Structure 1
Amino acid sequence: MIFQLDYQRIRDFVEKNGVYTYRRRENTFVLPLPTRKPERAKFENGYAAIVGATMRVLDGESIEYEKNENSIDGILGEGKFDSDETMEVFKLFIENELEDIENSTITRVEHFKNIPFINHKDEKKGEIGYFNFFYDLFIRDYENEFNSLFSELKTEDLLSEIIRISGQADNKPLTKRKYKMLFPGLQQQFLNDVKTLSTNPAFLIQHFADIALHYTFIAMSQIVIQTNKLTSAQTDKLHRIVFLNMSETASKRRDFYNEGLRFLREEIRSFFAHEHTLNILGNNTFTQESNWFYKDYADYFQKQSPAAQEEFIKSIYYWINEEYKLYFPLTERIPYEDQDLQQAFKDLYDTLRRNVKEEINSRYSVAFETIATRFYRKSGGSLGNILALNMNQLISLIAVAVGPRGSQLELNKLWIELENRGVFFDKYSKEEVVKILDNLNYLDKKSDSGDAQYVKAIL
């Protein structure tokens, strides 16, 4: 077997009318972030539109909500009313109910399906991108479990049946997987949390979109951080990202300043080049598998001979010095001097990064920051925007961390459970959380000294 980059496949991939293009998403999908401003998702309806698409696809329906305009008239025609006026009142009631649901005001799990994407062609592309990312990472591998769980929560009444029919669409097969979940522990944690939420359907309806959004954001952030580590990526643990509570006062001396949004901004700043680099590497002679990240190559070559890895590394430097340089003559040559895989990937990424247009980097990073500031923004004055949890987000995460009704969790273990969900607090934020829980009567003190404290079940 030959262990090299496939130079002809790369040429076919990057070249357009004789010009080098920084394409992506041929064999590796990384993040659902656009590089065109009009396609940037602004989440005007929060994250409920993504949850709505998820519910439709789980039921084998179209990703997009397709309203059946004739359904209401058909239903009214089958009904019995004592007067035309009564029928009109009932029709108006149904139309108002549908409008409320489409604006994310729902009271039943099955109503999620009637929440559409934003009615804007380009922004809708951005929301569909997030749906694909969320579904592939957190839903696809456990479709049966989620279908079973949500089926048990659905109700059967006249209003729900009318609403269901009003949005019913022809069954359409879901497109194949695009994204790969790098953090199986996070995926399993999400499934467990939704199961926990389902023990209180009213709470699930209120907070499911919050939980789905949170896991999406944490997965995106961790992908950025770990991909930047190249072959040293860790997929069995989450990197520390520090949040504040909205009720706190910010200070530059706090952990969030260097380990929160400021840190993520730096990590994402030149990240687009990784998307292109990974797709270059995917055009090779030894595997047809998709969605390989740097660590996947390292794991693969650990099972091959040293000569096989050396052959692959040499092909990377040949491509930089002989192929890429044809398009960018000023590219600095990098001789092969027994570099390991980590260094070869770094040299390839750094070479490609230098010629990415700044406007692409800017639009890409702004798209990432949009989801951060839309849902986690706290103004820190001169410190700028800060990652912070609002009360709804905090309570929903604590609720699933503690467990269903009748459960309790030792306070010291609460921080571990939150970290398993991607939320890290410094000691001052922990004190604030304790104060909030105490004020809400969710703390159970087992001794006067306060040595043993437990968080009560919120569900």
Structure 2
Amino acid sequence: MMQIEIDNNEINGLQSRYLNKDQKFRGHYTGNKIKLLPFNTKLSGGTFDEDFKSFQGVIGELFRILNNKSQIELSDSAKNFKSELKRTILNNAEGKVQTENGEELKNILSSLYFDEDNGLVKFNIKTLSYMNFMSSNNVIREISKFLFEIFLNDDFGDSIFNEDTIGENLLNQLIIQCLPELPDAALKTNLSSYHNLFPGIKKQFLEDFQFLATHNALFLKHVEDFFKYYYFHYLSQAVLHFNDFGSVPVKIKPIYYTMDWETLSETRLKNHAIGWKKLSGLSDSIFAHVNTAELLNYIQIDGNSVGNYSNIAEEYAVLNPEEKQKFRERISEIISFYMDSIDLVSGSWEECKRMMDLDIATRNFTDPISKDIFSLWYTINYQFRNTKRENAEVKYAYGFYQFAKLNYTKYRGRLGNTTVLSQELLLLFTRICIGNEEKIRLRTLWDKMQDRGIAFDESTKLEIIRLFEKINLIEKKSDSGDAQYVKSTI
């Protein structure tokens, strides 16, 4: 018989974590039992908007993690980092080259290897580790750690991220030699890793990444776009997954996008199964979800934590009737502990239970364990809306909401914000979907886009086809739509 426990048959684990010495609720703690999302309540306020848009700092930190390196300390101000890095590289170059025209050399290198904002041009994979954040707040570094642990941990050796410099021209080699040495990263132990909700997304990511890794120029040009999209893809699927409460198997739910140059009607928008309106609405309560998962993982089966909602449903399904009853009792204990520990400012726990029962009736849960997970989530969510902690939930959700809004939405007047793709991102993923083939059927492209979480309605498909025809990517074998092919541009 399986052992189903809460911290060795005691609720003391919950009490010591959540209650102070006066037995009052001290606050919510996430990431101790299960780490799901790289957010906290400090990502709000617009501080990280530029980093959310450029993603260069995130990529720089990611590649430093991959190479076990840390950032060089050139300045106390992140705003001065680019200019100081440029000055360091140019001074190093002047010292390595025997010339009487040092300033002329630096001017030439400056025009070739640095952009108008003094940023180092990405001409070799080694340069990626030198990109820095716009903000000096270290909170945003957690996104890089998240990307590493979800997508790249244990799958690649250092060699794939250390492009050979032998084939580079002499000036490229000079700049690479003049990059300041990055210090080794401090050894960190006993830190929990992020729990991957979607192994299927990781599998698709690795397939796409392997393709990009063999096309160096394409990779360097779009490395931020690629990681940024997969970050959004994973987060948006997490938002949708949470709302299922383990009641359905995990699968990708494509989001409907229009192109950013399109006009959009209300009728079309209503026919989009999943768009920004649904995502933004569900994202409001993700802090309640991560706290629900955290509390549920005080329950153990045979000494192992129960995992995410889907894991819990799978574990529950194979239990015998007595074990199932015990499992549900443990969840009831957690709900009771939570209610008993928190004093509401408005509303009441009686009202919470009444409203929860009404909501459950509309959801038609077929499995009691999903209903129990929902009940715990509803209790936590009700608490956030009826105590002084409501602001914490808003700030936590900002990490998803603002990132998504800045990168994948467009304001359309009375229709509000809608999810959009840029032409550049469309062409990047078209190349990725075609892969190493010379061409694929147009209908195959739509299917492959959906595999990556991207769906288009028929009007958007026509817009895309017009674009492809304009840039000569469409090949027609006949007038039949099934005989249309999309050609690779690589």
**TM superposition score category, shorter chain reference:** 0.7 to 0.9
| Distance in structure 2 (CA, Å) of the matches to 1:311 and 1:369 | 38
Deviation at 1:261, TM superposition (A): 0.4
**In structure 1, what is the equivalent of residue 124 of structure 2?**
108
Partner of 2:407: 375
For the residue of structure 2 that corresponds to 1:387, the secondary structure is: strand
Give the secondary-structure state (helix, strand or coil) at the position aligned to 2:266: coil
Deviation at 1:43, TM superposition (A): 3.5
> Aligned letter for 1:266?
G
Alignment-derived partner of residue 39 in structure 2: 33
TM-score, normalised by the number of residues in structure 2: 0.82
After TM superposition, list the pairs within 5 Å mapping 1:178-217 onto structure 2.
178-217=193-232
Question: Paired residue for 1:169, among 171, 182, 197?
Answer: 182
Measured at CA, do residues 206 and 290 of structure 1 come closer, stay the same or move farther in structure 2, by a change above 3 Å? farther
Amino acid at match of 1:80: Q
Task: Call closer, same or farther: CA 1:299–1:174 in 2, change over 3 Å.
Answer: farther
Shift of the 27–94 alpha-carbon distance from structure 1 to 2, 3 Å rule, reads farther
Residue by residue, what CA displacement relative to the aligned partner does 1:54-110 show, whole Å, maximum 9, x if unpaired? 222222212x354588776566445422x2xx2233345556777549736423332
C-alpha distance 73-449 of structure 1, shift in aligned 2 (>3 A): closer
Could you tell me which amino acid in structure 2 is paired with residue 407 of structure 1? E
Check whether the contact 1:179–1:291 (CA below 8 A) recurs between aligned residues: no
Contact 2:298–2:305 under 8 Å retained in 1: no
Q: Is the 8 A contact 2:38 2:146 kept in 1?
A: yes
Does the CA contact (< 8 Å) of 1:242 and 1:423 recur in 2? yes
Unaligned runs of 5+ in 1: none
Counterpart of 2:369 in structure 1 is 341
Q: In the alignment, residue 268 of structure 2 is paired with which amino acid?
A: R
CA contact (8 A) 2:66 2:148 kept: no
Aligned to 2:13: 9
| Aligned-partner Cα distance in 1 for 2:444–2:68 | 40
Separation in 2 of the partners of 1:288 and 1:108?
A: 47
Whole-Å Cα distance in 2 between the matches of residues 308 and 161 of structure 1? 67
- Is contact 2:35–2:192 with CA below 8 Å preserved after alignment? no
Does structure 2 retain, via aligned residues, the 8 Å contact 1:5–1:316? Answer: no
Percent identity between matched residues is 24
Where 1:230 maps in the other structure, the secondary structure is coil
Counterpart CA distance in 1 for 2:469 and 2:93 is 51
Deviation of 1:136 after TM superposition, in Å, equals 1.3
- Does the 8 Å contact 1:243/1:424 carry over to 2? yes
Partner residue, 1:129? 142
Which residue identity is paired with 2:279? L
The letter for the 1-side match of 2:144 is F
Change (3 A) 1:291 1:27: farther
Aligned-pair CA distance for 1:179 = 1.4
Q: CA deviation at 1:276?
A: 0.9
Partner of 1:359: 391
Letter of the 1:433 counterpart: I
Contact 2:258 2:421 in 1 (8 A): yes
AA at the equivalent of 2:416: G
Give the drift of 1:351.
Answer: 0.9
1:429 to 438, 444, 460: 460
Mapped to 2, the partners of 1:133 and 1:370 lie a distance apart of 18
Aligned length: 446
In structure 2, give the amino acid aligned to 1:140: N
Corresponding residue for 1:57? 65
Q: Do the aligned partners of 1:28 and 1:279 also contact (CA within 8 Å) in 2?
A: yes
For 1:151, which of 156, 162, 173 is the aligned residue? 162
Deviation by residue 1:205-252 (Cα, 9 ceiling, x = unmatched) = 1112111111110100101111221122433x2113111111211111
Q: 2:432 corresponds to which letter in structure 1? A: V
Question: Which shifted more, 294-303 or 384-393?
Answer: 294-303
Q: Does 1:293 align with 2:324?
A: no
Which residue number in structure 2 is paired with residue 306 of structure 1? Answer: 321
What's the C-alpha RMSD, in Å, of the aligned pairs? 3.0
Tell me the amino acid that sits aligned with residue 454 of structure 2: V
Q: SS in structure 1 opposite 2:399?
A: helix
Q: Which residue in the other structure is 2:258 paired with?
A: 244
1:42 aligns with 2:42: no
The one-letter code matched in structure 1 to 2:423 is: M
User: How far did 1:291 drift?
Assistant: 8.2
CA contact (8 A) 1:66 1:169 kept: no
Partner SS for 2:262:
coil
Q: Structure 1 length normalisation: TM-score?
A: 0.87
SS of the equivalent of 1:354 reads helix
The code of the aligned residue for 1:423 comes to I
Letter in 2 for 1:46: S
**1:227 matched to which residue of 2?**
242
Residue 139 to residue 252, structure 1, CA distance change in 2 (3 Å): same
> Residue 116 of structure 1 aligns to a residue in which SS?
coil
Change (3 A) 1:380 1:294: same
Say if 2:233 and 2:453, in contact at 8 Å, map to a contact too. Answer: yes
Partner Cα separation in structure 2 for residue 377 and residue 323 of structure 1: 37
